[in-house]
């Protein structure tokens, strides 16, 4: 299997080179489009397969260029007359991303006759986005806003699939590409792998360019020497479509040593947002946040949007949350007179501040009490799953079929006994079951830790002042 994957990758990189995708301004030294600046490598603890530096790279270097002709877009796929005519005739509401999803499935349906076949064979066969969640995965999240997001994602996927069925049948798609599972796969491909282009809101799929793994913005602080770097090196993004060269161009976001993984920043996301759109999350995400339940009056008494009322990854309440609570916990007849102070971020009084902080501590404790598992239990669970995965990888390396079968059976039993996962897990879905379980546990740990950090910060700061809270 590994040999087949290696051959497919080599075939794909050769195909990409023929399309003039390149990691160098110089003619390629081999049939591959990579090798001068980048190379494909595997990073088991940091995203799996990704792109590594083939040499030492300096911040701001152009490291990959993908011509417009090599980008998969709705425009390029709808050059197929049958697809174009059927889409225009049968889609009354032109939802760009749904049309792109149908186009992708239509192209997959062609199999080897597709011009994009080498690229299509390199796409993942499954994803862990929230839309792929079943009942167990949603239940395991435990965090209210995460459960809501997962239920919304799955419902949205099902609704869009039902709307697209008539079009896909008109295109004579084979039964395997008509299924909801196929629709979720195509939707997840587009959600997790498309890049922005100025002429189509649905974005584009970018061969080779979508091999970069993610790095959260803010992880790499500017060095003091950066102040005199050319302004062109200080880019807000790591890549983008450049009209003057008709290509998608990627640049290094920092200095890299040979062999180090080269990462791409897609933007600022929480772990839940990363899981929803891309199917992964970060062990340590500086942009993560947590929410606590708020009374409806909190929202109606202020002008801040709901998604701004959160707790930062470091345990500190957002400006909007703190201000909204200060206003809400002020007597109604006094709110108008103190509004200007609230919106400037000022404390109203020592008594109001004590009430606000006490309310947050009480609310956090209530949420923590509702978790079915403690943060200590979840951390232990992650360690156990990691050890079992490491053991499984060792068995694979030993090529011991009997031992590997025994391991997989014991892991299925473990998922059933400890995680209450049904024994009908088939071997093909075992990796998904493990990944989705880990994701749910990590979401719980993150939310749990943020709420704990908030209560600790409040208690520490007010203990210094001799204040106490009623819990």
CB 164 within 8 A of CB 101: yes
CB 336 within 8 A of CB 344: no
First to last CA, the chain: 58
CB 315 within 8 A of CB 453: yes
Which CATH number is associated with domain 1-71+209-215+236-266? 2.170.270.10
Vertex 195: Cα angle to 190 and 201 (nearest 5): 80
DSSP for 82-136 reads HHHHHHHHH-SS--HHHHHHHHHHHHHHTGGGSTTHHHHTTS-S----GGG--HH
At 303 the pLDDT is 85
Q: Distance (Å, rounded) from C-alpha 264 to C-alpha 370?
A: 37
Q: Which residues of the chain have pLDDT under 50?
A: 1, 219-236, 395-396, 398-402, 404, 417-418, 420-428, 465-471
At 408 the pLDDT is 54
Tokens describing residue 356: 């606000």
CB 68 within 8 A of CB 204: no
Q: Distance (Å, rounded) from C-alpha 375 to C-alpha 195?
A: 36
CA-wise closest residue to 168 among 232, 102, 93, 250 = 102
Tokens describing residue 14: 């050769």
CA-wise closest residue to 436 among 444, 157, 211 = 444
Sign for the pseudo-dihedral over CA of 198, 202, 203, 205? negative
Task: Give the DSSP H or E segment for 180.
Answer: helix 180-193
Domain boundaries, the chain: 1-71+209-215+236-266, 78-205, 289-368, 375-448
CA-based R_g, the chain, Å: 25
Main-chain phi, psi angles of 216, to 5 degrees: -70, 135
Q: What is the model's pTM?
A: 0.82
Alpha helices (H) in 278-344, listed in sequence order: 296-300, 319-328, 332-343
Q: Distance (Å, rounded) from C-alpha 220 to C-alpha 235?
A: 13
Tokens describing residue 363: 């609310």
CA-wise closest residue to 166 among 104, 103, 91, 74 = 91
Cα 316 to Cα 38, 311, 319, distances in angstroms: 40, 6, 9
CB 302 within 8 A of CB 276: no
At 197 the pLDDT is 94
CA-wise closest residue to 63 among 267, 207, 206, 253 = 253
């Amino acid at each position: 299997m590994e040999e087949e994957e290696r051959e497919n990758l080599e075939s794909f990189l050769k195909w990409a080179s023929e399309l003039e995708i390149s990691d160098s301004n110089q003619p390629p030294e081999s049939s591959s489009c990579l090798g001068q600046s980048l190379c494909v490598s595997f990073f088991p603890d940091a995203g799996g397969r990704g792109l590594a530096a083939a040499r030492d790279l300096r911040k701001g270097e152009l490291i990959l260029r993908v011509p417009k002709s090599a980008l998969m877009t709705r425009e390029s796929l709808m050059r197929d007359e049958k697809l174009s005519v059927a889409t225009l005739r049968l889609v009354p509401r032109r939802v760009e991303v749904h049309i792109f999803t149908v186009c992708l499935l239509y192209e997959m349906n062609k199999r080897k006759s597709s011009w994009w076949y080498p690229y299509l064979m390199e796409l993942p066969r499954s994803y862990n986005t929230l839309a792929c969640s079943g009942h167990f995965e949603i239940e395991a999240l435990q965090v209210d806003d995460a459960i809501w997001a997962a239920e919304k994602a799955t419902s949205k996927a099902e609704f869009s699939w039902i709307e697209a069925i008539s079009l896909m049948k008109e295109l004579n798609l084979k039964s395997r590409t008509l299924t909801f599972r196929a629709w979720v796969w195509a939707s997840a491909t587009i959600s997790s792998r498309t890049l922005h282009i100025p002429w189509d809101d649905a974005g584009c799929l970018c061969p080779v360019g979508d091999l970069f793994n993610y790095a959260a913005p803010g992880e790499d602080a500017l060095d003091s020497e950066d102040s005199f770097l050319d302004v062109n090196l200080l880019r807000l993004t790591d890549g983008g479509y450049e009209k003057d060269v008709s290509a998608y161009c990627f640049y290094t976001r920092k200095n890299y040593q040979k062999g180090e993984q080269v990462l791409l920043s897609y933007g600022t996301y929480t772990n839940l947002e990363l899981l929803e759109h891309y199917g992964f999350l970060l062990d340590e995400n500086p942009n993560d946040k947590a929410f606590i339940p708020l009374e409806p009056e909190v929202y109606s008494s202020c002008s801040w949007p709901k998604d701004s009322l959160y707790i930062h990854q470091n345990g500190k309440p957002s400006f909007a949350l703190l201000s909204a609570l200060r206003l809400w916990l002020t007597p109604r007849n006094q709110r108008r007179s103190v509004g200007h102070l609230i919106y400037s971020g000022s404390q109203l009084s020592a008594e109001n501040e004590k009430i606000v902080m006490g309310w947050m501590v009480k609310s956090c404790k209530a949420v923590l009490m509702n978790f079915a598992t403690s943060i200590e239990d979840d951390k232990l669970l992650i360690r156990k799953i990691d050890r079992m995965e490491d053991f499984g990888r060792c068995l694979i390396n030993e090529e011991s079929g009997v031992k590997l079968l025994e391991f997989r059976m014991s892991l299925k039993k473990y998922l059933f006994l400890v995680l209450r996962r049904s024994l009908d897990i088939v071997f093909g879905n075992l990796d998904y079951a493990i990944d989705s379980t880990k994701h749910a546990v990590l979401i719980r740990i993150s939310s749990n830790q943020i709420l704990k950090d908030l209560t600790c910060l409040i208690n520490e700061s007010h203990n210094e002042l001799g204040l106490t809270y009623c819990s």
